[in-house]
Amino acid sequence: MKVFILDFDHDKEKVYVYGRDENGKKIRIEYDQPYYLYLILKDEKYLNEIKNKLDNEKYIKKYEIEKKKYIGREYTVFKIIIDQDNYDNLKKLADSYKMEGKILGKKEGDISIIKKFQLDQSIYPLNWYELDLELIKKDQNIDYYKYKKNLGIIDKKYNLKVVAFDIETVSEQAIPDPSKDPIYLITFYDGKDYYSIYIDGNSDEGYKVNSELELLKKVDEVIKKLDPDILIGYNSNNFDLYFLYERAKKLNYKFSFSWDNKNILYTKKRETSKKYKFVGIQNFDLFNVISGIFATQFNSETYSLDEIASEVLGEKKLDINFNEIYNIIFKTKDYSYLIKYNKKDVELTYKLYKHFESILLEISRLAGITLYELSGSTYGILVEDYLIKRSRDNNEIIPNKPSYDDLELRKKYTYSGAIVFQPRSGFYKNIAVYDFRSLYPSIIIKYNISPDTLKCDHEECKNEKIIADTSVGKLEVWYCKKNKGFISSILESIFNERIEIKKKMKGLDKDSEEYKILDSRQLSLKYIINSTYGYLGFPNSRWYCLECASSITALGRKYIMEVKDYIENKGYKVIYGDTDSIFVIVNNEKDGQDLLMDINNLLPRPLEMEFEDFYLSGIFVEKRSGEGGARKKYALLSKDGTIKLRGFEVVRRDWSEIAGEVQENILKLALEDKKDEIIVYLNDVINNIKNHKYPLKKFILREQLRKSLKEYEVSSPHVIAAKKYKDRGYKVDRGFIVEYIIVKGGEKISDKVRLPDEVKDNNYDPEYYINKQVIASVEPILKSLNIPIDSIGKIQKDIRSFFNNG
DNA sequence: AATGGCGCAGGATAAT
DNA sequence: ATTATCCTGCGC
């Protein structure tokens, strides 16, 4: 039977696989998945002793003796099958053998029973499989089967049934609280029709119910009718589902839309982040994925639906503010506009999901996880899931997660990273920028860097030593040259797979379905490839390897230095470089291309440099404090007139829009050789700030809370602002983005902090914004252009006359 | 329970 | 007035 797999669940006895058959009917497949773990024998001489012992332990259902690899070495292992309830008994036994030095330890006890089923049967979410099944019974909604055998994966298309939803509520106070405030309105959207349900108001569209309990019942009904595979929300885990769950609890209502008809399952991940699961249907919070996995690719300052939708789709939310919602719900009770607003939100959520669907599916498939698991994953988790999935191909036992003590120890270790060259500030012309194609992955592959190849026993492998610079000293290490490592070989295989996919794409129409799928596939491979180095140095990783991570950066430094020396010996001027890139002054673009060919003749494959681009001009600035040019800050002008900005205040959300805008304009003028216009422009801006000619939003500063409020030792402005939000009833936790404006009066800046709506009549502090924002951000640029500005900032009131005098 | 890595600039506060 | 420390957000 052909089955498309969507979800997994388990109870004490069984694993349950949820999916659909070819007719789209829901099915549940059950299987008696044994729980097992491995004991790794340290020496064959203990084999019989342990065997005899295991024979007499009554709680052990069964055990097998196998040959498995663990971190590259082959061992004899006991695969022990027990009831999960007896884990503690086995742990006691294993611990004592470990103490006596007879076994290396127990492994894979922390791999869930669902993951074990997936690994043993090679069945992962979001694929079609041909399965050998035995029918148990057929119900109206769902068929029940017993699992027999996996006959293989099938290449077949499946269209996920997608439904997006969003709720509206409001509070007498600022922030709605599910212990007090009901859900007034909820809308579902399946890409075709909207289903809006509301209480306590009037409207010509939507479905009115008499009570919130009726609303919840209707929610159940609508979800069952739409029968989605995936339910999308935007920040739904921390808001919409939180409300649905808490309100239902309060009203004693149990949802039954899950495929097992059970209520929504709530698990508290952390104090501040909630997680809800419904069996069968994937709970997918798009906000999590956007702010977690895709975050770096957006220019938006926040990850609000409004900002992300306008950046990705070019569409905005409808306009509404707190007072208007308040008025609608508590006074006019005319819901017409509120429903339109709600529908638009759901539509944007749906469209955003659709925009990313192809890549989301490919990442899930690659890592072997459900979409529910993906929504909430980080790069570290993705790499780990992928390695776990690949472990069985290599007959590798999966290492344990670190214990708490190990973790604390690992966190203390650090190591040297990359080199950043210090630039000389100034204005440059004809800049060629080269960068290594996947520097760290190439190094891992070339040097076979992997925890299992580290310091192998072969004498001949010790010839080529690497000095890794760590906080525990300089370590002399080497990697095996005879046997391929677990991680390095996996990386090599997906590296090559990606190249093959990209080759295939070249012959395809860019608008075709096939192209899009291949593109998503290569992109998801790229995510894994690029995160593997970081994963090796990540303290909580199963395959943590400090020596590996520090060897990789050491070799990175070696190669970038070699290339730099080579270029300089040829008589060229290197002006900057960071980690894997080099900026060189060349005569023209052709000259730059030729130089690159020479560089690549020098480099051993797979190491290779690419021509990132040729730039007409560029600006580097002095550091504001300390000596010399600032690293990680530059502006480049491309041939097509576009400007590449890095590191400047304009790209930082903790600076005001006005400062950024002025800085960007001045950089533009400078790069385009219109230096004489700068002074006039700056003069104009300063006058406008003084005269309050700009809208207040240009003066907002934004900063994120990186820890919980009480952990702060210093009352910095953003902490003061955060407290103001908290006093208003906002949930102010780690991750909260604080917005504030600086006003006149007070001694310290933190005395001058106000929330945007507290600032009346555009009454920000012009002095602060002129000196500490605008001038502070443009001063280093003017300096590097040799525009004299000694008195700017110090004698602010004289700025005008200074500029007028030229 | 956590939730790839290190290098760097630069502002604000607190300590000297 | 100067410096150390805290803190964020960036680059790669």
Q: Is the CB of A625 under 7 A from strand C?
A: no
Task: Please name which of A29, A41, A33 lies closest in space to residue A2, comparing C-alpha atoms.
Answer: A29
| Nearest nucleotide (C1') to alpha carbon of A702 | C8
Distance CA A460, CA A448 (A): 15
Q: Return the amino acid letter for A661.
A: E
pLDDT of residue A761: 76
Task: With cut-offs at 50, 70 and 90, classify the pLDDT of residue A373.
Answer: very high
pLDDT in tens, A67-111: 999 998 999 999 999 998 889 999 999 999 999 999 999 999 999
In a 10 Å sphere around its CB, with 0-12 CB exposed, 13-18 middle and 19+ buried, how is residue A457 labelled?
exposed
| Nearest nucleotide (C1') to alpha carbon of A707 | C7
Distance A551 CA to B9 C1' (A): 27
Residue nearest to nucleotide C11 (CA to C1'): A632
| Nearest nucleotide (C1') to alpha carbon of A738 | C8
Distance A716 CA to B11 C1' (A): 10
Distance A647 CA to C8 C1' (A): 13
Q: Is the CB of A302 under 7 A from strand C?
A: no
| Token representation of residue A806 | 């030229």
Q: Is the CB of A121 under 7 A from strand C?
A: no
Q: Is the pLDDT of residue A323 over 70?
A: yes
Residue nearest to nucleotide B6 (CA to C1'): A417
| Nearest nucleotide (C1') to alpha carbon of A272 | B1
Task: Please name which of A368, A360, A369, A364 lies closest in space to residue A390, comparing C-alpha atoms.
Answer: A368
pLDDT in tens, A625-640: 777 888 899 999 999 9
Q: Is the CB of A651 under 7 A from strand C?
A: yes
Task: With cut-offs at 50, 70 and 90, classify the pLDDT of residue A676.
Answer: confident
Mean pLDDT of A730-736: 82
pLDDT of residue A174: 67
Q: Is the CB of A283 under 7 A from strand C?
A: no
Distance A747 CA to C5 C1' (A): 21
The stretches of A139-239 forming alpha helices (DSSP H) are 212-226
Q: Is the CB of A579 under 7 A from strand C?
A: yes
pLDDT of residue A302: 78
pLDDT in tens, A253-286: 999 999 999 999 887 665 556 789 999 999 999 9
Q: Is the pLDDT of residue A123 over 80?
A: yes
Task: Please name which of A742, A777, A767 lies closest in space to residue A665, comparing C-alpha atoms.
Answer: A777
Q: Is the CB of A706 under 7 A from strand C?
A: yes
| Nearest nucleotide (C1') to alpha carbon of A537 | B5
pLDDT in tens, A152-161: 999 999 999 9
Q: Is the pLDDT of residue A58 over 50?
A: yes
pLDDT in tens, A164-206: 999 999 888 767 889 889 999 999 999 999 999 999 889 989 9
Residue nearest to nucleotide C10 (CA to C1'): A647
Mean pLDDT of A365-387: 92
Distance A645 CA to C5 C1' (A): 30
| Nearest nucleotide (C1') to alpha carbon of A301 | C9
In a 10 Å sphere around its CB, with 0-12 CB exposed, 13-18 middle and 19+ buried, how is residue A506 labelled?
exposed
Distance A575 CA to B9 C1' (A): 19
Q: Do A3 and A19 form a contact (C-beta atoms < 8 A)? A: yes
Name residue A64's beta-bridge partners. Answer: A79
Protein footprint on strand B: which nucleotides are under 7 Å from a CB?
A: 1-14
Distance CA A70, CA A397 (A): 5
- Kindly state the greatest CA–CA separation across chain A: 98
DSSP state of A448: T
Distance A748 CA to B1 C1' (A): 38
pLDDT of residue A805: 38
Task: Please name which of A413, A660, A395 lies closest in space to residue A550, comparing C-alpha atoms.
Answer: A413
| Nearest nucleotide (C1') to alpha carbon of A296 | C10
Protein footprint on strand C: which nucleotides are under 7 Å from a CB?
A: 5-12
Q: Do A701 and A689 form a contact (C-beta atoms < 8 A)? A: no
Distance A351 CA to C12 C1' (A): 32
Q: Is the CB of A431 under 7 A from strand C?
A: no
| Token representation of residue A706 | 């990186």
| Nearest nucleotide (C1') to alpha carbon of A420 | B7
Q: Do A793 and A780 form a contact (C-beta atoms < 8 A)? A: no
Q: Is the CB of A632 under 7 A from strand C?
A: yes
Distance A558 CA to C2 C1' (A): 39
Question: Comparing A12-21, A132-141, A503-512, A698-707, which segment has the lowest mean pLDDT?
Answer: A698-707
Q: Is the CB of A580 under 7 A from strand C?
A: yes
CB atoms within 10 A of CB A379: 17
Residue nearest to nucleotide B12 (CA to C1'): A716
Distance A288 CA to C5 C1' (A): 33
Distance A74 CA to C7 C1' (A): 48
| Nearest nucleotide (C1') to alpha carbon of A417 | B6
Q: Do A299 and A290 form a contact (C-beta atoms < 8 A)? A: no
pLDDT in tens, A496-521: 999 999 999 999 999 999 999 999 99
Q: Is the pLDDT of residue A803 over 50?
A: no
Q: Which of residues 712-751 of A touch strand C (CB under 7 A)?
A: 712-714, 716, 718, 737
**Residue in this structure with the two tokens 């053998």, named with its chain if needed:** A97
pLDDT of residue A150: 97
Distance CA A594, CA A592 (A): 5
Q: Is the pLDDT of residue A800 over 70?
A: no
Q: Is the CB of A703 under 7 A from strand C?
A: yes
| Nearest nucleotide (C1') to alpha carbon of A646 | C11
Distance CA A55, CA A80 (A): 11
| Nearest nucleotide (C1') to alpha carbon of A734 | C8
Distance A415 CA to B4 C1' (A): 15
Distance A625 CA to C6 C1' (A): 17
Mean pLDDT of A758-765: 84
pLDDT in tens, A64-73: 999 999 998 9
Instruction: Give SS3 for A3.
Output: strand
Q: Is the pLDDT of residue A321 over 90?
A: no
pLDDT of residue A804: 38
Distance A387 CA to B3 C1' (A): 17
Distance A625 CA to B16 C1' (A): 20
Distance CA A473, CA A454 (A): 17
CB atoms within 10 A of CB A74: 10
pLDDT of residue A548: 94
Q: Do A561 and A551 form a contact (C-beta atoms < 8 A)? A: no
pLDDT of residue A448: 95
pLDDT of residue A272: 57
Distance A301 CA to B3 C1' (A): 22
Distance A714 CA to B15 C1' (A): 12
Distance CA A357, CA A374 (A): 12
Q: Is the CB of A424 under 7 A from strand C?
A: no
CA angle at A171 for the pair A206 and A265, rounded to the nearest 5°: 70
pLDDT of residue A542: 95
Residue nearest to nucleotide B11 (CA to C1'): A772
Question: Comparing A125-139, A201-215, A765-779, which segment has the lowest mean pLDDT?
Answer: A765-779
Q: Is the CB of A652 under 7 A from strand C?
A: yes
Compute the mean pLDDT over every residue in chain A, rounded to the nearest whole number: 90
The reported pTM is 0.91
Q: Is the CB of A26 under 7 A from strand C?
A: no
Q: Is the pLDDT of residue A27 over 70?
A: yes
pLDDT of residue A679: 84
Q: Is the pLDDT of residue A791 over 70?
A: no
User: Given CA atoms A633, A637, A673, A568 in this order, what sign does their dihedral have?
Assistant: positive
Instruction: Give SS3 for A164.
Output: strand
Q: Is the CB of A419 under 7 A from strand C?
A: no
Distance A21 CA to C3 C1' (A): 70
| Nearest nucleotide (C1') to alpha carbon of A772 | B11
| Nearest nucleotide (C1') to alpha carbon of A583 | C12
pLDDT of residue A325: 87
Distance A632 CA to C7 C1' (A): 19
pLDDT of residue A792: 46
| Nearest nucleotide (C1') to alpha carbon of A578 | C12
Q: A742 to each of A745, A761, A772, A773, how far by Cα in Å?
A: 9, 14, 11, 11
